Structure 1
Amino acid sequence: MASAISIRQPAQIYEQEAQHETLLSKLKLYEIMLGSAKPMALRAAVLLNIPDIIAQASGSLTLEEIAAHISASTESPPHIEYLFRLLRFLASHKIFSEIPHQEDFKQSRYGLTGLSRLLVKETSEGGVSMLNYVPFLLGATSNLPFQGWLHLHESVLEGGSAFDKAFGMSAWDYAANNPELNKTFNEGMSCDTRAVMASVVKVYEEGFKKITSLVDVAGGVGSALSIIVENYKHIRGINFDLPHVIATAPSIPGVEHVSGNMFEHIPSADTIFMKWILHDWDDDDCVRILKRCYEAIPNNGKVVIVDALVVETENDEDEQEKCLRDVGLALDMTMMLFTGGKERTKMEFKKIIMKAGFKSYTIFKLPFVQAIIEVSKY
């Protein structure tokens, strides 16, 4: 007897494909709605000191061993099953490596990956890790951003930052009135600065060699400028920021701390340096800042901007380009939340640079979402 042949009709094929697409859409929606689980679980792991515990072991540890280390620094041992579920979840996102034990989950082993190594606070010698992103993570996962996100729709309707709407004041005023938050914010910016500036001083080497004086506008506590003058000792550095920021800045050899308002006046120098500053402001305010920069430099002077450069078109085939675009657009939403500022594409930077009176610019790529933009009067 001949075997029966099943032939699917076009309508059946379409229905199955539609069901598959609907299921994928539902799963993607769930992934988005539950997206806060990743950063908050990572925050918990950092507060439990797990990246450092594993780093100090110079290899992977069993769940029980990690629990024992946590117990040694707390008043009570951790809930072992909860700890397992936390690490299993983070390992599923490649934040930790995992060797599961089929019979006893307490014997599952966990190690560091490239992601979790960025959250190791101390070096093996006991110093602070140069790749320590912990302050950045703790700031990003505090309750302040989440309260702001609840007002994002109001920003879309009315303009202005969601943070202002949530707290009735700007992020800058809030930081000025909350010393502990101001300290956390500056530490977060410093950890990013250490990573980015290591590339900046190399990529822009020829430019730094020609500079004799440099003002870091809104330079925080001087983290970026300290790296510049350490590598190029002939440069006289001026760290320029608001009074409440300068008040917490440490003494740095070769650097003078000066307080003031960049919208009113910027100290004169050969070069103006701004790292992650223009993204805090809308186009009109950026033009005002750049005009003050124009006034502060000589005719052959430069303005050196280190800021995120949003990839203009999506390229799913290039994983790095897609990641850079995704991060750039996420940062853009974050700036809408906190300051009403924005991350910019190359053409958007060109618009504000030319409107401020400058005639030319050159872009130097970095291995980060940020790039160096060298701006000239002629």
Structure 2
Amino acid sequence: MAAPNLLQLSPPTCDDRLIWDVERSFYHFPTLAAADELGLFPLLDTNPMTAAQVGQALSLGPRATEALLGVLTSLGFLTQSHGHFSLSGVSRTYLLPGSPYYRGSIIKLFGNVPLTSATILEALKKERASAYGGGEMWETHEMDSALAEGFTHAMHCQSLPLAMGVALNGDFHGIKRVLDVGGGSGCFCIVVAQRWPGTTFTIMELPAVSKVAQRYIAEHGLQDRINTVELDMFKDRWPREYDGVFFSNVFHDWDRDRCLFLSRRAFEALPSGGRIFVNEMLLDETKDRPLAATSFSMTMMVYTQGKQYSANELREILGESGFEDIRVTPTHCYYSLVTARKR
């Protein structure tokens, strides 16, 4: 049989740049993590450097240096001018260890996670978390105090800019006492307390995380305005002496039924006129953008029982719980604060 003449094929109707970009994106985050581990960002903090100078300082050969700097510059973490490399604004803000917004802990946490297509396929087919051996992430962290501390610290670093957004853009007028459900390190309570001096806070957390939160509270000298209570938000009775209930990155860990349960528990715990605050990265109503939110939803698919929600989905959950006057306020980056009032 004669060999097929490939030139008789019709040319592709579009190029395959998108496929190339997605294929190669597999190296983006590990390269960022490697650069953080190498100390590249503090190296470039003071003065721009040539590739040769970077390679010498980091004990890397020319080929390795070119690959490292090329990826990071293409992604926007570095800039290049006349052969000299400098930090971009994003790197200066989030990738210098001396910055209060340094994301090194979260980069280290996920830098060595062995995420594969098989992991995602298992989660998609079984519709349940496939990481942690199919177990529950929160139970794993709660049983291991070192894991709990490392994870909570990483979340604290990631959450600080989000907390700033909530404190500056959220409306806490008239709120005297806030219950922060699943409040982690207390990052949101600490920042909001500094912005709203007339409000006190309680962080409701599991014991291992609560101990970490107490240290952060003490570091900021806010023990007189922020305390912790060790409760399971699904199993234990919630305290009732609060006129605000706050959730951040909690709803996205759970399916709709569990979110509705939490919303109803908040409604029951609040007095008339009390308010609920839900801080989340929202999907557009079409569920296909922004990319950060759709990717975060896939992350939740692999690690938790949840997903990212749209504003309307959260409106429906809060409305079914009895809340009214539901509002959505953009706070920081992809995040918005959804608020509502109890009748």
Is 1:339 paired with 2:304? yes
Is 1:63 paired with 2:27? no
Identity %: 20
- Would the alpha carbon gap of residues 168 and 343 (structure 1) be closer, same or farther in structure 2, given more than 3 Å must change? closer
RCO higher in structure (CA 8 A, sep ≥6): 2
Offset of residue 270 of structure 1: 0.9
2:91 corresponds to which residue? 116
The residue type paired with residue 261 of structure 1 is D
Secondary structure of 1:363 counterpart: strand
The residue type paired with residue 265 of structure 1 is R
CA contact (8 A) 1:130 1:195 kept: no
Which structure has the larger Rg over C-alpha atoms? 1
Tell me, in whole angstroms, the C-alpha distance in 2 between the residues paired with 1:156 and 1:365.
30
1:160 corresponds to which residue? 128
CA contact (8 A) 1:275 1:307 kept: yes
CA contact (8 A) 1:118 1:133 kept: no
1:355 corresponds to which residue? 320
The residue type paired with residue 162 of structure 1 is S
Gaps of 5+ in 1: 1-14, 71-76, 101-107, 123-127, 315-321
1:246 corresponds to which residue? 210
Tell me, in whole angstroms, the C-alpha distance in 2 between the residues paired with 1:118 and 1:187.
18
* TM value normalised by structure 2: 0.87
Secondary structure of 1:135 counterpart: helix
CA contact (8 A) 1:217 1:266 kept: no
Deviation track 1:59-97 (CA, whole Å, cap 9, x = no partner) reads 311223334443xxxxxx333431222112221222211
1:187-226 matched pairs, under 5 angstroms: 187-204=153-170, 207-226=171-190
Tell me, in whole angstroms, the C-alpha distance in 2 between the residues paired with 1:117 and 1:196.
18
Identify the range of structure 1 (61-70 vs 41-50) with the bigger mean alpha-carbon deviation: 61-70
The residue type paired with residue 62 of structure 1 is T
The residue type paired with residue 63 of structure 2 is E
CA contact (8 A) 1:332 1:343 kept: yes
Is 1:96 paired with 2:78? yes
Question: 247, 250, 261: which is aligned to 1:274?
Answer: 247
Tell me, in whole angstroms, the C-alpha distance in 2 between the residues paired with 1:21 and 1:114.
39
Question: 219, 228, 233: which is aligned to 1:262?
Answer: 233
Identify the range of structure 1 (300-309 vs 265-274) with the bigger mean alpha-carbon deviation: 265-274
Tell me, in whole angstroms, the C-alpha distance in 1 between the residues paired with 2:148 and 2:207.
12
Secondary structure of 2:280 counterpart: strand
CA contact (8 A) 1:310 1:369 kept: no
Query: Cα RMSD between the aligned structures?
Result: 2.3
* TM value normalised by structure 1: 0.80
Offset of residue 313 of structure 1: 4.1
Offset of residue 20 of structure 1: 4.4
Secondary structure of 2:183 counterpart: coil
